[in-house]
Amino acid sequence: MSNSLVIRRARVVSSWGVVESGYIVIERGAIVEVGNEPYSGSQCNVIDAEGLYAVPGFVDTHTHGVKGLDVTVSRDPYTILEMAKQFTRYGVSAFLPTAVTAPLETLAEVCKAVSEAMDMWRPGEGARVLGLHMEGPYINPDMAGAQSRAFIRAPSLSEFKLLYEGCRGVLRQVTVAPEVAGAQELIPYAKSLGIVVSAGHTKASYEEGVKAVELGVTKATHLFNAMTRFSHREPGIALALLQSPKVFLEVIADFVHLHPAVVKMVIDLAGPERVALVTDSIAATGMPDGVYVLGNLEVVVKQGVCRLVGTEVLAGSTLTMDKAFRNAVGLGYSLSSVATMASLTPVKSLGLGLRIGDIRRGYRADITILDDELRVVKTIVDGEVAYEHQ
SS3 84: helix
Q: For residue 241, which phi and psi values (nearest 5 degrees)?
A: -70, -40
For residue 370, the model assigns a pLDDT of 98
With 90 as the cut, is the pLDDT of residue 306 above it? Answer: yes
Buried b vs exposed e over 111-120: b needs ≥16 C-beta within 10 Å?
bbbbbbbbee
Query: Which tens digits make up the pLDDT trace of 228-247?
Result: 999 999 999 999 999 999 99
Q: Where are the alpha helices (DSSP H) in 200-276?
A: 206-215, 236-243, 260-270
For residue 161, the model assigns a pLDDT of 95
Q: For residue 287, what is the DSSP state?
A: S
User: How big is the CA angle at 219 (ends 217 and 224), to the nearest 5 degrees?
Assistant: 115
Q: Which of these, 264, 263, 215, lies nearest to 240 by C-alpha position?
A: 215
Query: Which tens digits make up the pLDDT trace of 179-218?
Result: 999 999 999 999 999 999 999 999 999 999 999 999 999 9
Taking the whole predicted model, whether its pTM rises above 0.85 is answered as yes
Q: Which helix (H) or strand (E) holds 321?
A: helix 321-330
Query: Which tens digits make up the pLDDT trace of 335-382?
Result: 999 999 999 999 999 999 999 999 999 999 999 999 999 999 999 999
Q: Which helix (H) or strand (E) holds 47?
A: strand 46-48
Query: Which tens digits make up the pLDDT trace of 127-177?
Result: 999 999 999 999 999 999 999 999 999 999 999 999 999 998 999 999 999
Q: Where are the alpha helices (DSSP H) in 88-135?
A: 104-120
For residue 42, the model assigns a pLDDT of 82
Residue 50, classified by CB atoms within 10 Å of its CB into exposed (0-12), middle (13-18) or buried (19+), is exposed
Strand partners, 22: 10, 36
For residue 1, the model assigns a pLDDT of 40
Strand partners, 30: 27, 364
Band (pLDDT 50/70/90 cuts) for residue 3 is low
Q: Which helix (H) or strand (E) holds 65?
A: strand 65-66
Q: For residue 81, which phi and psi values (nearest 5 degrees)?
A: -70, -35
Q: Provide the CB-side half-sphere exposure for 39 (13 A, CA).
A: 21
Q: Which of these, 328, 282, 278, 324, lies nearest to 305 by C-alpha position?
A: 282
SS3 48: strand
With 60 as the cut, is the pLDDT of residue 2 above it? Answer: no
Q: Which residues contact 166 (CB under 8 A, 6 or more apart)?
A: 108, 111, 112
Whole-number Å distance between alpha carbons of 351 and 348: 5
Query: Which tens digits make up the pLDDT trace of 259-276?
Result: 999 999 999 999 999 999
Residues of the chain with pLDDT > 90, as a percent, come to 96
Whole-number Å distance between alpha carbons of 130 and 371: 27
* Residue positions annotated with a catalytic role: 280
Neighbours of 143 (CB within 10 A): 19
User: How big is the CA angle at 222 (ends 216 and 278), to the nearest 5 degrees?
Assistant: 110
Q: Which residues contact 293 (CB under 8 A, 6 or more apart)?
A: 70, 73, 283, 299
User: Helices H, strands E: what count in the chain?
Assistant: 11, 22
Q: Give me the domains of the chain, ranges plus CATH numbers.
A: 4-54+362-388 (2.30.40.10), 58-349 (3.20.20.140)
Query: Which tens digits make up the pLDDT trace of 66-91?
Result: 999 999 999 999 999 999 999 999 99
Query: Which tens digits make up the pLDDT trace of 5-53?
Result: 999 999 999 999 999 999 999 999 999 999 999 999 887 899 999 999 9
